[in-house]
Chains A and B, each alone.
Chain A
Amino acid sequence: MVQIQEEEVPVLRITDLSKNYGGLQVLTGIDLEIQHGELHALIGSNGAGKTTLFDIICGFIKPSRGSVQFMGQEVTSLPAFKYAHLGIGRTFQITTLFRTITVLDNLRLSLEALATTRLPFLKSGSFSERNLEPIIGLLDAWGLWKTRNVPVAALPYGVQRQLEIVMALIQKPRLLLLDEPMAGLEAGNRASMTKLIKESSRETTIFFIEHDMNVALQLADRVTVLHQGKRIAQGSSEEVQSNREVQRIYFGF
């Protein structure tokens, strides 16, 4: 019964969302729906409001108007840290892993965030082996198991970007937000990142920002195009590509 409901309600529904800072209008009347299991891309040039939209979806910024619903639940006014507990995970454009500690500890930190205890300072932050199981599985799947005891700072940049995603995935989010997962990667790493995102999207709904129109169109099931804070197109890759407004604004036809 519950399962059926989950399938029916969109994972994310954004209605008439606007954000302005004083006179500066960053987002205007955004409507967006992301269905269960979708791999959805958000495209837009610099200053289109992509990251602001992400920050609103995960609660860092409160919108000036409009609402965000997650799995049918109104979340707009919740404090930011609650979002992760509901099942919204996110990565950042700039890697924000904890650099001085090992890969394993980073993942533990992520896993522990959702554990609930009444007296957190009485509970040791170190982990027993049984907690390791989900980590082992995921690290294996991403081919990162051999790096587990290396401090993050010592890892190559491409691996750090992958770990950034693993860190969110380990919480088993129902919606995963990826902020420019491809940014700054070299060719080889891009290919493996593409593959990893594709694979992860089988397990969870993914919404990602991508600068590169082509990458986004190749990878995503559906695409939303932002321009200067407005949604100018939404739909499948084909629909978006043939959209007159996208062509005009994006390519200057």
Chain B
Amino acid sequence: MAQTPILTVNRIHTYYGQSHILQGVDLSLNERGMVAVLGRNGVGKTTLIRSLIGFNIPREGRILFKGSDITQLDPARRVEAGLALVPQGRRIFGSLTVEENLLSSARKRAKKTVWDQNGVFTLFPQLRDRRKVRASHLSGGEQQMLAIARALVSNPDLLLLDEPTEGLSPSMVRELIKIFSELEREGQSLLLVEQNLKFALDVAEHVFILSRGTVVYESTALDLSQRPDVQLEHLGVSTGAKELPR
């Protein structure tokens, strides 16, 4: 635990117009591995991701990435600094081909594992076969792969994932679990925002729970999996309980 944090979020407050979504979020991420932020629908998970990538600038608080303050930077500069986003709803560029989507974000960086087109095509063989196809014609699962691949080829130091399992079939979710584990093994840092508790517990090492705009719980994934009471209180579900209470 003596590592220096790659990302520190210091009491940020983010609004949509007048709507106060993040009400003082504190987070700290260590280098390597995957951290998950869990929370029910509408607690501000996506807003947290949007604040991190810079789509919404927090009104208060600071975001430190690799030791430098990025709170006021625009998204492109944050990507330059080493963040990448797999957004909710995938948001691939539909009128571009698969290959062009990858070219839109490709970026070289001195790292141990460097992702290039070939690399991501090895990770997602389906995409190689469809590299000349317009992205809007891909299936949902393929689009999700493309969104991940698009983020990977920018060779980020920290990969932000916003509900990557949304709308995917169970088999595709299992596939993602494999892929994320592989990325973790290779030393990629990942921040996952998720409401799918089971999936998060499967892939993440450390978890935070967000509720109504603040972090209400933090522990290792293992600890949370043994705390059905916490799961119930903040997430409304539990992996342990067979029957759901009223």
Contact = CB atoms under 8 A, between A and B. Distances in A.
Q: Do A and B touch each other in the complex, judged by CB within 8 A?
A: yes
B101 to A, nearest CB: 18
Nearest to A48: B167
B197 A212 contact: no
Interface string B1-30: 000000000000000111111010000000
Nearest to B212: A187
A241 B241 CA distance: 13
B166 to A, nearest CB: 6
A22 to B, nearest CB: 9
B119 interface: no
A19 B233 CA distance: 37
Contacts of B237: 251, 253
A252 B196 contact: yes
A46 B193 CA distance: 14
- Sorting the interface of chain A by its residue count into under 10, 10 to 19, 20 to 34 or 35 or more gives 20 to 34
Contact of B166 (A45, A210, A238, A242): A45
A46 B89 contact: yes
A129 interface: no
B244 interface: yes
Interface in A120-165: 157, 160
A252 B246 contact: no
Interface in A17-66: 23, 45-47
Nearest to A189: B20
A94 interface: yes
Given A211-B42, A251-B237, 9 more contacts: A46-B46, A157-B18, A157-B19, A183-B42, A211-B40, A214-B236, A252-B173, A252-B196, A252-B198
Interface of B: 16-21, 23, 40-43, 46, 88-89, 136, 163, 165-167, 170, 173, 195-199, 212-213, 236-237, 239, 243-244, 246
Contact of A241 (B17, B198, B239, B244): B244
A253 B198 contact: yes
Name which of B42, B136, B237, B243 has the most chain A CB atoms within 10 A of its CB.
Answer: B42
B88 A46 contact: yes
B41 A94 contact: no
Nearest to A242: B244
Contact of B42 (A47, A212, A253): A212
A92 B41 CA distance: 18
A228 interface: yes
Contact of B18 (A95, A211, A247, A252): A95
Interface of A: 23, 45-47, 94-95, 157, 160, 180, 182-184, 186-187, 210-214, 228, 237-238, 241-242, 247-248, 251-253
B136 to A, nearest CB: 8
B22 to A, nearest CB: 10
B17 A252 contact: no
Contacts of B166: 45-47
B153 to A, nearest CB: 25
A212 B23 contact: no
A97 B206 CA distance: 43
A94 B246 contact: no
Contact of A45 (B41, B198, B236, B239): B41
Contacts of B16: 94, 184
Contacts of A187: 212
Name which of A210, A228, A237, A251 has the most chain B CB atoms within 10 A of its CB.
Answer: A251
Nearest to A253: B198
A28 to B, nearest CB: 13
Closest A-B pairs by Cβ, 10 of them: A184-B19, A211-B42, A252-B196, A252-B198, A251-B237, A157-B18, A211-B41, A214-B236, A212-B42, A241-B244
